[in-house]
Structure 1
């Protein structure tokens, strides 16, 4: 047995798939830690097809298919050489208790972010982004929002739990700056009177080059701290059928990945990947797309750092 790997193949795609990419499972926030992956299995704010409470587990399981490649294509370095990452596990709230979910997610996220770590959250329905933005605001103040989605999620409603309204409420709470925020892939109606973010709709993104899309994003956000929120239904249902509210006319997984990889100029202070609903998936195609997007987001963070000594 090779002495370099006494405990088995780290690239194994079918054994002990407990964490994202086989990362260590821990809630200890040591000084050397750079980023944390956290799951929130919640879908009680869903307005359509349910099932995203199983999203974090599905993404972790699909990530095993990515573990064999030492350097994620097309990056030219090994993620672990630049970024120390661990899996925090899932937030365990009382069944049916949305208030407890809100409180726990914000508290855990604040603990992680205030310790100087970048948080990558796996959902769950998109409503989870509201307590996450509250936690980000506690440390970073008002941020820019970069939001990939088929829907704006800015429905003007007093409904307390609604995964189509959390950015409306976040705006009212002053958690992000809409004038310096961008939405990518939108292809459903929205009200201009309650929405002032820059919208790069699905057709525009599909008809312009990746460089043009990235340039537009950079020009609006600039060097402000930015929260990146990715709803998997930004992808066309051909590439992400396993979601609650699929909308035709979306991005290919390749185009989305290229855009993510082009965001190296942004000052990203938090990220999430939401709305994977594995019950509607086929051959794990949605979960795999989500796991790959998450991995490229982590590589994006690492690309701003030198190799560890």
Structure 2
């Protein structure tokens, strides 16, 4: 289909009248909204709000993922010409999706960040809209879960990651991207008995009762078998999906702060995510995309595709 011309239907981040539909613009120009969705703070009639959280003040190694939301938006400009492959439907046409912009916070007052993010997500939920979030480091999932659990009750967590992020930490005011799921369990935000961690390949004796499908199991059993096992554990429980990009092997996604070899391939992740159709997804995020460590942009491309797959999973849930 031809690109839209100068008749007024250009730069859909600003001019799109409908929040549904594919986009036919030059991928190399225009504003960097996610999937060429319209930028807006008006959530009237909206189903999904994609929002960015440019925060990386809790990292234990390399910073830079504060630049992740911008990079993911740019990488996503290649995708909205066609429906996502393999799903058999077009979520961008069936679901009303907008780019809600980024959370604004004072980086010099880090102590106020968690409450600001929880309030930000709660505002989206109060409008009856599902949040999909671009990080930022993985700590951001913790304040998001506070808002999600306040609306939905204790959730199942589906976590794609190289690290469990359940290292003990009794100081609940500390900002640390390796301890927040320990705190989330202790706060009752998630139920580990019906939660799954996928791709794990670092040692932590504190599993808190999570079901773990490590990277080796995915490699040996295959992603389709892993997806079947995940679906059986999650059942019909409301689920929040968080995807740390370091779940992928650094050969696939080098642009991240704490890379670990032996991770999933992009192909394995794609099969896994698509075979999870039918889980009861209520929200999700992609985190730890750090553009400074990947001048090729491949990591941001992976992040954009993962977030699109999460959108497809949410839309599939809505289809029933």
Asked if TM exceeds 0.5, the reply is: yes
Structure 1 match to 2:34: 20
How much has 1:270 moved relative to structure 2?
1.1
Looking at structure 1, the residues matched to 317 and 156 of structure 2 have their Cα atoms a distance apart, in angstroms, of 19
For residues 102-155 of structure 1, give each alpha carbon's deviation from its aligned partner in whole angstroms, at most 9, with x where no partner exists: 111101101112322111000000000010000001100101000000000001
Looking at structure 1, the residues matched to 184 and 318 of structure 2 have their Cα atoms a distance apart, in angstroms, of 31
Looking at structure 2, the residues matched to 221 and 241 of structure 1 have their Cα atoms a distance apart, in angstroms, of 30
How much has 1:259 moved relative to structure 2?
0.8
- The 5 Å alignment of 1:191-206 reads 191-192=205-206, 195-206=208-219
Looking at structure 2, the residues matched to 124 and 4 of structure 1 have their Cα atoms a distance apart, in angstroms, of 33
1:145 to 153, 157, 161: 157
Looking at structure 2, the residues matched to 228 and 82 of structure 1 have their Cα atoms a distance apart, in angstroms, of 21
Task: List alignment gaps of at least 5 residues for structure 1.
Answer: none
1:74 aligns with 2:86: yes
1:282 aligns with 2:295: yes
How much has 1:305 moved relative to structure 2?
4.3
Looking at structure 2, the residues matched to 227 and 253 of structure 1 have their Cα atoms a distance apart, in angstroms, of 21
Looking at structure 2, the residues matched to 304 and 146 of structure 1 have their Cα atoms a distance apart, in angstroms, of 15
2:54 to 22, 38, 41: 41
- The 5 Å alignment of 1:95-134 reads 95-134=107-146
Distance 1:3 1:222, change over 3 A: closer
> Does the aligned pair in 1 maintain the 2:224–2:271 contact within 8 Å?
no
Distance 1:219 1:78, change over 3 A: closer
How much has 1:269 moved relative to structure 2?
0.8
Structure 2 match to 1:158: 170
**2:49 aligns to what SS in structure 1?**
strand
**Per chain length, whose mean CA-contact separation is higher, i.e. which structure has more relative contact order (CA < 8 Å, sep 6+)?**
1
Count residues with an aligned counterpart: 303
Looking at structure 1, the residues matched to 184 and 122 of structure 2 have their Cα atoms a distance apart, in angstroms, of 16
**1:183 aligns to what SS in structure 2?**
strand
Looking at structure 2, the residues matched to 79 and 12 of structure 1 have their Cα atoms a distance apart, in angstroms, of 21
Looking at structure 2, the residues matched to 305 and 222 of structure 1 have their Cα atoms a distance apart, in angstroms, of 16
| Farther off after superposition, 5-14 or 252-261 | 5-14
**2:204 aligns to what SS in structure 1?**
coil
How much has 1:51 moved relative to structure 2?
0.5
Structure 1 match to 2:68: 55
How much has 1:166 moved relative to structure 2?
0.4
Structure 1 match to 2:280: 267
